[in-house]
A and B are shown apart, each in its own frame.
Chain A
């Protein structure tokens, strides 16, 4: 299965700033997925990123708040912009398919102060 390198592992950010999270995959993949896990909660899908097209966002998530880049088949970034304390969460990227399951990055723990 694919190996994902996710950076940074954690960060503390000021309100109003932005954080960009990177995921590098060791093989080419068609789709990459971005999730948010709020404290003590389960994972919620933010968006699906395909190379060469706009990301598809889930209900409740918008591109202005969570812009995503997918410049090639092995890399993607998620930016969480205009940070507020409510954005404090773990953010995870994932790749895979419905036949075999999914691999997740190690997560980025974001704290907004």
Chain B
């Protein structure tokens, strides 16, 4: 079964607004990563947050991680039309084989 569950499944907002996406997972992790996918193409790595980190920033992106709740959120501030894409969280287990397990994704639409 999928490790990650994301909500909402779809989000539509106006340009300039902030977008928040959430991800929950079930087992221990080494880190959690967020990726963007435009129109069913390849994935772009956005940000990686380690299990001992609580918050991380990269430009207009802010990621939080709460390991006690097994959840993470991705905030995109001041959204732009170019942010329209699907966003996936992915978890990496703390030991054993390298193996990313992806959430179901959030489809984000930014309306001009």
A interface residue numbers (CB < 8 A to B): 1, 4, 6, 31, 33, 37, 41-45, 48, 56, 58, 90, 92, 94, 96-98, 100-107, 109
Contact A107 B40 (CB under 8 A): yes
A43-B102, A98-B92, A100-B48 are known contacts. Are A106 and B97 too (CB-CB below 8 A)?
A: no
Contact B103 A102 (CB under 8 A): no
Instruction: Note all chain B residues with C-beta closer than 8 A to A33.
Output: 98, 100
Across the interface, name the chain A residue whose C-beta is closest to B92: A98
Instruction: Note all chain A residues with C-beta closer than 8 A to B97.
Output: 48, 56
A sample of 16 more A-B contacts (CB under 8 A), given A6-B42, A44-B102, A103-B45, is A33-B98, A42-B103, A42-B104, A43-B43, A43-B100, A45-B99, A48-B97, A58-B99, A90-B40, A98-B31, A100-B48, A101-B48, A104-B44, A106-B41, A107-B40, A107-B41
Instruction: Note all chain A residues with C-beta closer than 8 A to B35.
Output: 104
Across the interface, name the chain A residue whose C-beta is closest to B50: A99
Contact A42 B42 (CB under 8 A): no
| CB-contact partner of A92 in B33, B43, B104, under 8 A | B43
Across the interface, name the chain A residue whose C-beta is closest to B88: A42
Instruction: Note all chain B residues with C-beta closer than 8 A to A56.
Output: 97
Main SS of chain A's interface residues? strand
> Does B30 lie at the interface of the complex (its beta carbon under 8 Å from any beta carbon of A)?
yes
Q: How far is the CA of A68 from the CA of B15 in the complex (A)?
A: 43
Distance in angstroms from A43 CB to nearest chain B CB is 5
Contact A45 B40 (CB under 8 A): no
Instruction: Note all chain A residues with C-beta closer than 8 A to B44.
Output: 104
Contact A48 B98 (CB under 8 A): yes
| CB-contact partner of B105 in A1, A42, A97, under 8 A | A42
Distance in angstroms from B105 CB to nearest chain A CB is 5
Q: How far is the CA of A48 from the CA of B104 in the complex (A)?
A: 21
- Residue contacts A-B, CB under 8 angstroms, 17 given: A1-B45, A42-B105, A43-B100, A44-B102, A45-B99, A48-B99, A58-B99, A94-B43, A94-B100, A98-B31, A102-B100, A103-B45, A104-B44, A106-B41, A106-B42, A107-B41, A109-B40
